[in-house]
Structure 1
Amino acid sequence: MLRIHFTGLDLARVRIAARPDALWESVLSFHRLRDKQGASIFRQWRGETRTRLSGETRPLASLVPCRGYFPDFLTPPEGALGVEPAFEALRETPDHRLQRDMRLLGGERPRPGWMHGLAEGDKGALGRLIGILRSYHKAAIAPYWPHIRARIEGDRAARGRALLDGGADELLASLPRMVRWRPPVLEADYPVDRDLYLSGRGLLLQPSFFCRRTPVTYHDRDLTPVLVYPVEHTAESAPSAAPVRAYADDPCSLGKLVGHTRSAVLQTIGQGCTTSELARRVGVSAASASQHASVLREAGLVLTLRHGNAVLHTLTPLGAALLRGGAAAVPDLPGLPAGPVAQTAQTAQTAQTAQTATSGTGR
């Protein structure tokens, strides 16, 4: 069990990450690629990703084992800005951090020769690692980024709503069932017994698409505290490389969107709301509000997730782009292939001041 100890100052400094981290999701997805957890959700993603992967990504298995520790330096905070800024930060990792993290990794298992170069601060070895990570990200993450980001932003909306309704207490109590708020301690299912004292530093809550089973946090207690936890997955959560339906191929779907009421529904959902709130604000019945939200969800404009006893509707990146006047005005995210899917992604904003967590187990 992991026990995170809060003070009053820590409660005032709880934050919710605004977006997924490119390298964080890359590392956690590598776990999902090799295990069977959430098989129904990740089956298609695994098949498509394995088809695109080349053999050069195999060395990642030595650096990111299925279980246990993997290096903290793999997820610099610049990952919130996109994959290329993250790689630049990774390239500047201090030698002492490389040596410390690789020593911890090497203490658990044998490692291939090229990883010895990392432990010695060899920039050539670090460059090779960045090349491997770039290839993996291109195959496993970039095609699915709008879908991943939509799930993270939906979870953020739910947590933000809890914060507004009941403060930090309600926010911490709203986290997934493997995390339990027992003031002043946040307990979480964890593969090892561990205590983390925040000591006034606060806590960054980072929802993750590829995190499963238990939350994760840094091995190094001196790093800015972060708790990474799984987002809720439903039957609609399966990552798709083409999450936006082509309206040219389905004119009926586009036709469903036409009309004053549905436009009002979309604008209302832009603020995040439950079905009952949507009905009240738009002036329709609850059944009608639910039907409108369902059509918008099928069109790829709305994301729906459960929040307590209610359901919460939020916009997907495409829905937000539509309200802004069209997806074409939105720049591509670094590392994302150009095209309609990429154009729905917003440019990542300022990186979080805290680094994201790294290991899936045994931290």
Structure 2
Amino acid sequence: MLRIHFGHADLARTRFISGPDPLWEIAMSLQRFQTRRGRWAYAHWYRTARHRLQDKGLGRTLRTVLLPMFPKGVYFPDFLTPAESGGGLDAGLEAILATPPRQVLSEVAILDRTVGAPSWAPRLAEQTARREFAGILKAYYEAVIAPYQDEVQARVEAERTARGRDLLDGGTEGMLSRLGSTMRWSSPVLHLDYPAEDRDLYLDGRGLTLAPSYFSWNTPISLASPDLPPVVCYPVCYELPASAAGPEFADLSGTASLTGLLGRARAAALVAAAFGATTGEIARAAGVSASSASRHATVLRDAGLVTSSRNGANVLHCLTPAGAAVLRAATRAARGGGGRRIPS
């Protein structure tokens, strides 16, 4: 159990990453190779990833380099998931290269005491070895994560949208109470079902960064060092109440070209999904029955324009990057580049 203690300032400074964190996704995807738990959810990715790695000559590298540094267990080095990777893979890799050698050696020693580090791991304190390791991380990302970038982006954006609705309805504490069954909010403490040792983390005014992850499964994870900027990487999840309120109609002004292309009801469904909408909300926005709204959402999903996530009786529909691009193009063409911003 990890207990994260909030003060009033921490609630105001709690935020979400702006999109998928590439180094956290690398770390979490490597966990998927080491357990059968949840493999059904990643079955297609797992099969294609193994083939892609073999085709790229990375099969042995996966076994001898990557998996030993990201073991499925209670610890992997903090310097492998720096905060800078929120700015993209290259920024994250540069932060890894800039890690002080003393920190690298210290965290490799913790890895060795915890689960056993590979014999070559202490050499990562040297810039040359670390640069080679960063190149391996980039090659792995390009082989098995970049091909799924749109899906990863869509799922993380859907999670951000769902939690943003919770924030609007219940403030930060309301949002923290809806992070899934493995995280429980009991003011002023967030309790996490944590795979590592039982411990407490005091934010002390630093706030918390929440990093929803496509490849994370079941349990959240945090940095081991209490001195680093606090972050929690957790599985994407969707928990919308049946009575969730949403838009009563979709504003189709300025989207005549989109209406001509898709039809009024389907265009309304796409507009409603721009900021997240349940099937019932799409039905109200488009002025159609729930069954018709479901069919429209299915067509948009099959076309790669929306992503749909179910939790119990509720389904949340959000734009994929392709859907956002279509909607932005339609509104930009009609309004000369102005108008309401569509989230990307």
- Superposed CA deviations along residues 117-169 of structure 1, whole A, max 9, x for unmatched, are 12xx2111111211221221122211111111110000110000000011112
TM-score by structure 2 length? 0.83
Letter in 2 for 1:223: L
Task: Supply the distance in 1 between the matched residues of 2:216 and 2:190 (Cα, whole angstroms).
Answer: 18
SS of match in other structure, 1:34: coil
Task: Supply the distance in 1 between the matched residues of 2:273 and 2:45 (Cα, whole angstroms).
Answer: 29
Letter in 2 for 1:59: V
Tell me if structure 2 keeps the 8 A contact 1:19–1:149.
yes
- Which protein has greater RCO, CA pairs closer than 8 Å, 6+ apart? 1
Tell me if structure 2 keeps the 8 A contact 1:257–1:296.
no
Partner of 1:280: 284
- Superposed CA deviations along residues 184-229 of structure 1, whole A, max 9, x for unmatched, are 1111112321111111111111111111121100100011111111
Does the C-alpha gap of structure 1 residues 52 and 13 become closer, same or farther in structure 2, counting only changes over 3 Å? same
Tell me if structure 2 keeps the 8 A contact 1:213–1:230.
yes
Within a 5 Å distance, the mapping from 1:1-363 to structure 2 comes to: 1-53=1-53, 54=58, 55-57=60-62, 58-118=64-124, 121-191=125-195, 192-232=197-237, 258-306=262-310, 310-325=314-329
Larger deviation, residues 103-112 vs 135-144: 103-112
TM-score by structure 1 length? 0.78
Gaps of 5+ in 2: 239-259, 331-343
Task: Supply the distance in 1 between the matched residues of 2:116 and 2:209 (Cα, whole angstroms).
Answer: 33
Does the C-alpha gap of structure 1 residues 95 and 279 become closer, same or farther in structure 2, counting only changes over 3 Å? same
Letter in 1 for 2:77: P
Task: Supply the distance in 2 between the matched residues of 1:284 and 1:171 (Cα, whole angstroms).
Answer: 31
Tell me if structure 2 keeps the 8 A contact 1:26–1:140.
no
SS of match in other structure, 1:325: helix
Percentage identity across paired residues of the two chains: 46
SS of match in other structure, 2:190: strand
Task: Supply the distance in 1 between the matched residues of 2:144 and 2:21 (Cα, whole angstroms).
Answer: 14
Does the C-alpha gap of structure 1 residues 257 and 114 become closer, same or farther in structure 2, counting only changes over 3 Å? farther
Letter in 1 for 2:229: T
Gaps of 5+ in 1: 234-255, 327-345, 347-363
Task: Supply the distance in 1 between the matched residues of 2:206 and 2:115 (Cα, whole angstroms).
Answer: 33
Letter in 1 for 2:329: G
Larger deviation, residues 57-66 vs 295-304: 57-66
Letter in 2 for 1:294: T
Task: Supply the distance in 2 between the matched residues of 1:265 and 1:14 (Cα, whole angstroms).
Answer: 31
Tell me if structure 1 keeps the 8 A contact 2:69–2:118.
no
Give the root-mean-square deviation of aligned CA atoms.
2.5
Question: Size of the alignment, in residue pairs?
Answer: 307
Task: Supply the distance in 2 between the matched residues of 1:261 and 1:321 (Cα, whole angstroms).
Answer: 19
Q: 1:110 Cα deviation (Å)?
A: 4.5
Partner of 2:255: none
Task: Supply the distance in 2 between the matched residues of 1:110 and 1:307 (Cα, whole angstroms).
Answer: 39
- Superposed CA deviations along residues 251-302 of structure 1, whole A, max 9, x for unmatched, are xxxxx97322211221222122222322223322333222211221122111
Tell me if structure 1 keeps the 8 A contact 2:83–2:229.
no
Task: Supply the distance in 2 between the matched residues of 1:8 and 1:198 (Cα, whole angstroms).
Answer: 10
